[in-house]
Structure 1
Amino acid sequence: MMEKIEDPVAEAVVCWRSAEEGGRRSGPPTAPVYMATAVFVQGDDRELQPGWPASADQLSILLEETAVREDGSRTCKVDFLVRDLALPYLVPGGEILIMEGPRVVASARVDTVHVGD
């Protein structure tokens, strides 16, 4: 199990879905670094690609929670197992869907990108 993201590629605000919304029954993960698959939201993918987001190209994402905000969302360090595949899509304000199998369990809004810092 990974304990820490030493050199994150980005920071994001993550909103975990409730079980009623199709999210995790156990709530937000408690592991030091949560690993899952993710899909970048781009343009009209929802309307153009059947079965989206489950049918979209997925990347392996790493999230390390750094703070819980007043609204219940979480500030997290972000990285990817294959960072180079994510870089073209990683922009401040970009949206990422966090998946467990075909289910979307959270959404993330990229706050800061560290590449080139």
Structure 2
Amino acid sequence: MIELKEPLAVAEIRWLPESQGGRSSGPPTAPVYGATASFPGSDAALLSILVQYTGALSDGLALANIGFLVPDLARPHLHVGTELLITEGPMVVAHAVSRDLLPAE
């Protein structure tokens, strides 16, 4: 996938270093990265997330558009300030916080 067509939100993402369970190859370099994510403290199941990097912020944070393979399952849990854990298998590789919600097209 080259572009995330209908992102739900803009998020700040902090990729964990390998020493904390993050990716050994560092942050993904694909145009759109697919993984799984959970909403800590909610009853939402593990969801498939799509992440498209849009820029860097201070303190090592990345700015990205995020979407989900099944947006209707994520939408009720997604608000400004919502925390997400991005995982690969059982390992948490990044922490994200939604910064802005995007209008549905």
TM-score where L is the length of structure 2? 0.93
Gaps of 5+ in 2: none
- Determine what percentage of the aligned residue pairs are the same residue: 47
Aligned length: 105
Counterpart contact for 1:11–1:113, Cα < 8 Å: yes
SS of match in other structure, 1:6: coil
Write the distance in 2 (CA, Å) between the matches of 1:88 and 1:36. Answer: 20
Moved over 2 A (4+): none
Aligned mate of 1:61, from 49, 57, 63: 49
**1:1-117 alignment runs, 5 A limit:** 2-42=1-41, 57-115=45-103
Counterpart contact for 1:41–1:94, Cα < 8 Å: no
1:20-78 deviations in Å (ceiling 9; x for gaps): 011001100000000000001126x8xxxxxxxxxx72000000000011211100001
Counterpart amino acid of 1:85?
Answer: L
**Shift of residue 116 of structure 1?**
5.5
